[in-house]
Amino acid sequence: MTKRQFSMKQILFSSALALGLLLGSVSAMAAEGGVELPSAGVNLRDQASLQRGARLFFNYCVGCHSLKFQRYQRMAEDLGLTEDEVMKNLNFTGAKFGDTVVSHMPEDSAKQWFGKAPPDLSLEVRARTADWVYGYLNSFYLDPSRPVGWNNTVFPNASMPFPLWELQGVQTAVKKPGSEDVEKLELSQPGRMTPAQYQQAARDLTNFLAYVSEPAALQRHAYGIWVILFLALFTLLAYALKKEYWKDVH
């Protein structure tokens, strides 16, 4: 066996091993909580969805959760909002336009009510994946045995109450026969939204959090089009130069 053949086999083996580890980690995340995660359908180019998601976050989430790596000013620029729109409709803490998004819940009060301070959500999608966040928002159910009265099939024994229950309604768990495992969730009390409307709202909120986890992705997508066009043009020029250079050789 030559060195070249040996090296090629090493490369193929390493690639297959890396792919297997990646698929294994994705499967493990999908199986977390014993449920299959639905697709969040994230689309950072859908500016209307990002705006709706921002409205949901600042109306239902910012009371407990911060976005310490996101500034109001940057959000306005990326989401196509004016300073006046952001400061009047999305800023409820009296922060300045250039400040980062910080929850107005005192940390001591949060620890007293929930046992620990609610996490910052700036990188939640990067840490958990968008599908996990979307599945989490769809998987709350009423559980009187829990301190806050709610539980979640994606993240069992979650200490967070369900902030969107008025929109989705109240779900109850149907247990598997002879087991405490949850077989499915049923909507026992309708909310202000239909199931389809709520799923879209959860998607919008997840989409916004996906943007927050990497705001530069919007610019990177815009630059990517120009990079591809440049490479295509460069390829044509390089091919024409090659033909011109080699025509006298052949």
How far is Cα 175 from Cα 42, in angstroms, rounded to an integer?
31
Q: Is 64 annotated for ligand binding?
A: yes
Question: 149 in the Ramachandran plot: left (φ > 0), alpha (ψ -120 to 50) or beta?
Answer: left
Q: Is 61 annotated for ligand binding?
A: yes
Q: Is 221 annotated for ligand binding?
A: no
How far is Cα 92 from Cα 78, in angstroms, rounded to an integer?
20
How far is Cα 66 from Cα 104, in angstroms, rounded to an integer?
8
How far is Cα 214 from Cα 52, in angstroms, rounded to an integer?
18
How far is Cα 106 from Cα 103, in angstroms, rounded to an integer?
8
Residue list for the binding site: 61, 64-65
Residue list for the binding site for heme c: 61, 64-65
